[in-house]
Structure 1
Amino acid sequence: MKKVEAVKLPPDASIREALHIIDSGAIKLAIIADEENRLLGTVTDGDIRRAILNGKTLDESIDGVYNKHPVVVGIDESKESIINLCTAKKIYQIPVVDKRGRIVRIAMLDELLKPKTRPNKVVLMVGGLGSRLRPLTETTPKPMLHVGGRPILQTIVERFASHGFTDIIMCVNYKADIIRDYFGDGNRFGVNISYILEQKRMGTAGALSLLKERPGEPFFVMNGDLLTNVNFENMLQFHLDNNAMASMCVREYDFQVPYGVVNIENGKIRSIEEKPVQRFFVSAGIYILNPACLDLIPNEYYDMPALFEKIISRGEHAVSFPLREYWLDIGRMEEYEKANREYYKVFE
């Protein structure tokens, strides 16, 4: 049982305030209550990400975002009943209320009931040439370039391990021996690492056709040249909550047109927009796939966008997971230098 004061908010709080509570606590939930402590609702990381996709800003009110009909239990509910309800509803915490609807505490699924490590595999694509980072990559594969005093790939492995994802597969090609010699079986990093050697370039999805064993659970796929502090547990829960076949991390990208844009209709000027800003969501190179996705991947060069297009064309459910955390694709020298400047502010 957890105290609720640290995660409680009034109904006029902002989305930003709710995010702060969700990110800073182990409960991963914010409670909305009125002045008399009556439960009005709950808000989760997934609720906020859906609101962002729908155009909400962090400074807007949480009203309209939080769940006003959460699952609750009474103060006399037994431990066994709470566990059974959590299992049936696929949730990890339930507000406990008294007969007047006032929030008393939050019942959490006992941490001891959950496995110490999670069964979901992590596939890291680390076979790229890193041509744009030459001459640094002439002797070192890009994922092994040091940022913050350690290889980029080590930070990725440690981030997954910190969330309980310890079954890691590395798809290697260029200078594969350097990666294998450094990581070995992963024991000294608290993980289990196996390797797939790409004899030829297979793309970001084609290499998955080389997996020796079919995963039994949804699994992560991530490019090996990224730095991010995204919560992988939240991403997996978002994938499961949405019953998705495939999930893609997306990042908002702004582009400002450096000129006045003239809107023309039938030769007539209708309006002029001075240097408008165009906003897009772009792929962030992190994915979760259900095992059934492997049936759609040919044993040849095949990129992840092609896989998602196939999934969508078949009417399967593909969802986006908007990133609001730190993220940097280290593809060019200026990004590599930026990563080294920012590393200790983000990861230490």
Structure 2
Amino acid sequence: MSHNWKNILVSPKHNIQQVLKVIDDEALQLALVVDDSGRLLGTVTDGDIRRALLNSLPLTTSISEIMFKKPTVGLRDFSQEKILELMKTKQLNAIPILENGKVVGLETLNSFSQKAKYDNPIFLMAGGFGTRLKPLTDNCPKPLLKVGDKPILETLLLQFIKSGFHNFYISTHYLPEMIREHFGDGKKWNVNIIYVHEDAPLGTGGALGLLPAGVPELPLILINGDVLTNLDFSKLLTFHNKQNADATMCVREYDYQIPYGVVEHEGTLVKGMVEKPTYHFFVNAGIYVIDPKIYKAVTNNKIIDMPTLLEQQMGKNKKVLSFPLHGYWLDIGRMDDFEKAQQDIVNLDLL
């Protein structure tokens, strides 16, 4: 996103001359008209102003009279590919990014042409048995089950590639030869893939102890190979780095409604009643960013899961943060999840 997008925010009370100066100073050929809360009201381009002047409107005219009130916008949860496609389809050089109607950023064609490349290692966990998806997994590892026209794990791989990542490690255990045969060494996608095989299941944290020497000394993104999400992984990494975190865990809000009336009491005295209350929790989304000092300290063949590993690090006063996921996320663990994924993939626009 542009580093100076906030400088192109203008009030509907501004006049043409004031907005023209903003557009000229920021060189983005665009101004965003917002209300006092930051809600987008419209856009103004240099072309809009030129047409207004040709129609003999004075420079003192309120910008709200000439702004375009139904601009093309992107949402914060949109993938980079979807935003780029919007710009190409609409022939736009920039698109404002909104969340709940408020401007939270700006994507430009220039930002895409300068797309970052990341050397950070990506660890894809693909060793599970997929027991709850039997009989589909009797002769096929769960990460190779197709959602839409691609295996789950391939969809994940392609998302990372399009975000600029190229160093991949895949953890295998159940039917590893099928996964190796499908993905090879990554040359098909111009990336590097190295396999880490667990002779016995070690847990998501324990698999880190099998990583070979030579892993880049950079924060590692670890993700379960059965997760379907439209998370922008580059934004996750940026958050981790800016916060100087030792580890970051992605979390997802989960609502649970009690199907009964809940009674609040002290002893036998009823103090109140709440009918079928809903409680809100954040649950582990199976996606982590981990600094080298943590994942390199996991010993070979140590059995440990990631939540336990992070709890140990918190006990050592390490900075472990949560990153809430507001977009799509689905853990494909059960048959119902698998069937839902088949329906959702059509509208997700992941690739």
TM-score scaled by length of structure 2: 0.71
Instruction: Note if 1:260 corresponds to 2:285.
Output: no
Instruction: Note if 1:279 corresponds to 2:280.
Output: yes
1:274/1:14 CA distance change after superposition, 3 Å: farther
Q: Are the equivalent residues in 1 in contact too, given 2:126–2:173 (CA < 8 A)?
A: yes
1:261/1:296 CA distance change after superposition, 3 Å: farther
1:223/1:23 CA distance change after superposition, 3 Å: closer
Q: What amino acid does structure 2 have at the position aligned with 1:249?
A: C
Task: Trace 1:47-196 onto structure 2 (pairs within 5 A).
Answer: 58=100, 112=114, 117-196=117-196
Q: Are the equivalent residues in 2 in contact too, given 1:228–1:328 (CA < 8 A)?
A: yes
Superposed CA RMSD: 2.9
Counterpart of 1:3 in structure 2 is 28
Aligned match for 1:12, one of 37, 47, 55: 37
CA positional deviation for 1:296: 4.2
Q: Which runs of 5+ in 2 are unaligned?
A: 1-25, 43-72, 81-95
CA positional deviation for 1:215: 3.0
Instruction: Note if 1:217 corresponds to 2:242.
Output: no
CA distance in 2 between partners of 1:139 and 1:346 (Å): 28
Counterpart of 1:293 in structure 2 is 294
Instruction: Note if 1:231 corresponds to 2:232.
Output: yes
List per-residue Cα deviations over 1:292-330 (Å, max 9, x = no partner).
112542332110001110111111110000001111100
CA distance in 1 between partners of 2:341 and 2:333 (Å): 11
- The count of corresponding residues between Structure 1 and Structure 2 is 275
CA positional deviation for 1:142: 0.1
Q: Are the equivalent residues in 1 in contact too, given 2:263–2:270 (CA < 8 A)?
A: yes
Q: What amino acid does structure 2 have at the position aligned with 1:310?
A: Q
Structure showing greater radius of gyration is 2
Q: What amino acid does structure 2 have at the position aligned with 1:325?
A: G
CA distance in 2 between partners of 1:22 and 1:160 (Å): 18
1:339/1:2 CA distance change after superposition, 3 Å: farther
Q: What amino acid does structure 2 have at the position aligned with 1:165?
A: F
1:182/1:110 CA distance change after superposition, 3 Å: closer
CA positional deviation for 1:44: 9.6
CA distance in 2 between partners of 1:139 and 1:8 (Å): 57
Percent of aligned pairs with the same amino acid = 39
Counterpart of 1:40 in structure 2 is none
Aligned match for 1:306, one of 300, 304, 308: 308
Q: What amino acid does structure 2 have at the position aligned with 1:313?
A: G
TM-score scaled by length of structure 1: 0.72
Secondary structure in structure 2 of the residue aligned to 1:258? coil
Q: Are the equivalent residues in 1 in contact too, given 2:209–2:297 (CA < 8 A)?
A: no
Q: Are the equivalent residues in 2 in contact too, given 1:130–1:142 (CA < 8 A)?
A: yes
Q: What amino acid does structure 2 have at the position aligned with 1:158?
A: L
Q: What amino acid does structure 2 have at the position aligned with 1:193?
A: I
CA positional deviation for 1:24: 6.0
Aligned match for 1:315, one of 299, 314, 317: 317
CA distance in 1 between partners of 2:252 and 2:34 (Å): 28
Q: Which runs of 5+ in 1 are unaligned?
A: 27-42, 49-57, 67-92, 96-105
CA distance in 1 between partners of 2:340 and 2:79 (Å): 29
Secondary structure in structure 1 of the residue aligned to 2:310? helix
Q: What amino acid does structure 2 have at the position aligned with 1:294?
A: Y
